[in-house]
Amino acid sequence: MTISELQTAIQDLVQQLTAEAPGVDVRTKYLGKKGLFNQLARVLPSLAPEDRKTAGQLINEVRTQLEATVLEREKTVGASTNWVDVTMPGKKPAVGHVHPISQAMAEITRIFEKVGFTRVRYPEVDWDWYVFESLNMPPDHPARDEWETFFVDVPDTTKPVEYDANNPRKRHPSLVGGKMVLTTHTSNGQVREMERLNSTPPIRMINIARCYRRQQDATHTQMFHQFEGLVVDKGITIQHLKGTLDYFAREFYGPGTKSRIRPFHFQFTEPSFEVDFSCHICMGTGKVGENKCKFCKSGWHEVGGAGMVHPNVLKAGGIDPEEYTGFAFGWGVERTYTLKPGLHIDDIRLLYSGDMRFLEQF
């Protein structure tokens, strides 16, 4: 290369730099290790020895010029595109979160475990024996109609055995088989838990599971969840039941929430009750100012059932009802959850719609 060729190359380089588009990282492109300036400087040894001094000066000058132009450009169009502000907060990766009903189940579990209950799970496709018969509902008993049951299409292996209320185990499915159903309630866990503990109280169970019924509207889904409490020991009374319900109401809905029990009928408890919790909007008064409370209308929300375990149920689990007594309660997780302060979920089907716009709110 000759000096004049070098001068033309330098001019070209400077012109090229001034014409660069705004997004280009000119510092790396021109002044970087493998940049255009270094490429140019590499021609130095190919020049005639007498030209090298002048060439060296020219190259030094262009370096200063390039530096100045790049610096000027960084001031006006901003720094190179590779420039990173390490103090900026990072981009959060999109991660999922626990479904609101799973959150509610975890909370219910925590509340009962705190007072000595053990969380258990039992089959959600179960023998008729555990779902109905061991709960004091012999075959063809009209009380079964309340549970709109899905039956599983497997051959019924039940052999005709005469029902004996004093010895319901005579029809135990492990001995005689029976129909399979999708569990209509978590009460199927009651006799299963008695069996798991070899019919030896104390029992303090909280069973949370999916349940299934032939129903579908704004307040019912074919699949839903229930939680079931069972306590069996010597000297258990309704007071223990009431105290447990009040404790749950306070823990789940907040201080000041109360429970109320009203007489009812279930085959598997005697006496039986319906359970209400006081409304957190009107604090159980039914009134907001002069008007009726729109959320509850009466001051209370009905949530589920409860009672003292029927002697036949204890017997079905191999426990002597003369020696032990117990209480039980059970109801839906979805309903319990949607009554929480601050939630207004009019249609519980939304919970299972998979609509992220809805679910992301929880």
- 310 lies in the binding site for ligand DAH (CB under 6 A): no
Among 267, 269, 278, 338, binds ligand DAH (CB under 6 A): 269
CB of 223 closer than 8 Å to CB of 334: no
Q: Going residue by residue from 203 to 242, which x/- string records binding to ligand DAH, judged by CB under 6 A?
A: -------------------------x--------------
The bridge status of strand 223-233 relative to strand 203-212 is antiparallel
Among 104, 232, 282, 306, binds ligand DAH (CB under 6 A): 306
CB of 111 closer than 8 Å to CB of 119: no
Q: How far is the CB of 145 from ligand DAH (least distance, A)?
A: 12
- 168 lies in the binding site for ligand DAH (CB under 6 A): no
Stretch that binds ligand DAH, among 27-35, 113-121, 244-252, 327-335 (CB under 6 A): 327-335
Give the residue among 174, 77, 84 at the shortest CA–CA distance from 129: 174
Among 307, 311, 317, 326, binds ligand DAH (CB under 6 A): 307
Judged by CB, which is closer to ligand DAH: 27, or 213?
213
Q: How far is the CB of 228 from ligand DAH (least distance, A)?
A: 5
- 330 lies in the binding site for ligand DAH (CB under 6 A): yes
Q: Does the bond joining 271 to the residue before it have cis omega, within 30 degrees of 0?
A: yes
Task: Give the residue nearest to ligand DAH (CB).
Answer: 305
To 5 degrees, how large is the angle CA 350–CA 276–CA 294?
60
Q: How far is the CB of 304 from ligand DAH (least distance, A)?
A: 6
Judged by CB, which is closer to ligand DAH: 260, or 280?
260
Give the residue among 78, 135, 74, 99 at the shortest CA–CA distance from 305: 135
Calpha distance 131→190 (Å, rounded): 9
In the block, tokens 């839906």 appear at 332
Judged by CB, which is closer to ligand DAH: 269, or 312?
269
Q: How far is the CB of 109 from ligand DAH (least distance, A)?
A: 17
Written as one string, the DSSP assignment of 112-155 is HHTTT-EEE---SEEEHHHHTGGGT--TT-GGGGGS-PPBP-S-
Measured CA distances, 351 to 188, 319, 332, 337, 346 (Å): 25, 40, 14, 11, 11
Stretch that binds ligand DAH, among 6-14, 31-39, 254-262, 328-336 (CB under 6 A): 328-336
Judged by CB, which is closer to ligand DAH: 317, or 330?
330
Dihedral in degrees, nearest 10, Cα atoms 268, 113, 219, 343: 150
Q: How far is the CB of 196 from ligand DAH (least distance, A)?
A: 17
Residues that bind ligand DAH (CB under 6 A): 185, 187, 228, 266, 269, 304-307, 328-330
